[in-house]
Amino acid sequence: MLQLTDLHAYYGKSHILHGVDMHVGEGEIVSLLGRNGSGRSTTVKTIMGLVHGEGSIRLRGDEILGQRTFDIAHRGIGYVPENRDIFPKLTVSQNLQLGEKRAAKSPRWGFDDMYRMFPRLKEREHTEAGVLSGGEQQMLTLCRTLMGDPDLIMIDEPTEGLAPQIVELVAEYLNTLKSRGVSVLLVEQKLTIAMQISQRCYVMGHGSIVFEGTPASLLGNAEIRKEWLEV
């Protein structure tokens, strides 16, 4: 599905990513772990064309590095940023409507699917998004991205600041995506949700991949966890 090869990224003259190699398979949940400042968010922003990159990013074998962000989105990549980016003066329903993809084929997801996954959004359907709780806003931005019918969705820190019960809802959401054939690249700092739902994990440090393996192999590698994950 997605293949990164020798990917470098820059903010101005600052060299942030140093030869990143990673891949995400069809219908696979992959977690990208690491401390703050390790380069995780820069990786997904580079994939989306929001940060200048060099190397190769291929989606189903086609090179997308250097393409415009909206063209990358139209190719089937959805992106949920860490800051959520909801439209505060629009209602829940209007925010979801803005995410809809206009295409000839019938989308896999609709309003009923979103409200079934997160009934709280149905209750708040006509409420301005700006007055929602943090957890409700996270639900909304996840669903708005999914309304674009992506084949791969990249989610940056979806559980940051959320109550444990909302974290469990997010985990259920991600498993639902996998069951319907959507690939997921999950950027997380916490091990708990990543270990629970991922098929594979990458650990990033100083802009490079320092570990690749299964959740079980990461849990069994105390040295990597101590060096690159634990505070």
Q: What is the DSSP letter of 231?
A: -
| Pairing, β 77-80 against β 152-156 | parallel
Measured in degrees and rounded to the nearest 5, phi and psi for residue 82 equal: -65, -35
Element (H, E) at 18: strand 14-24
- Whether this model's pTM surpasses 0.85: yes
Q: What is the DSSP letter of 86?
A: -
Topology adopted by domain 2-228: Rossmann fold (3.40.50)
pLDDT of residue 140: 94
Low-confidence ranges of the chain (pLDDT < 70): 102-105, 231
Domain ranges in the chain are 2-228
pLDDT of residue 105: 65
DSSP bridge partners of 209 = 204
Crossing angle (nearest 10°) for helices 134-146 and 164-179: 10
pLDDT of residue 102: 67
pLDDT of residue 32: 97
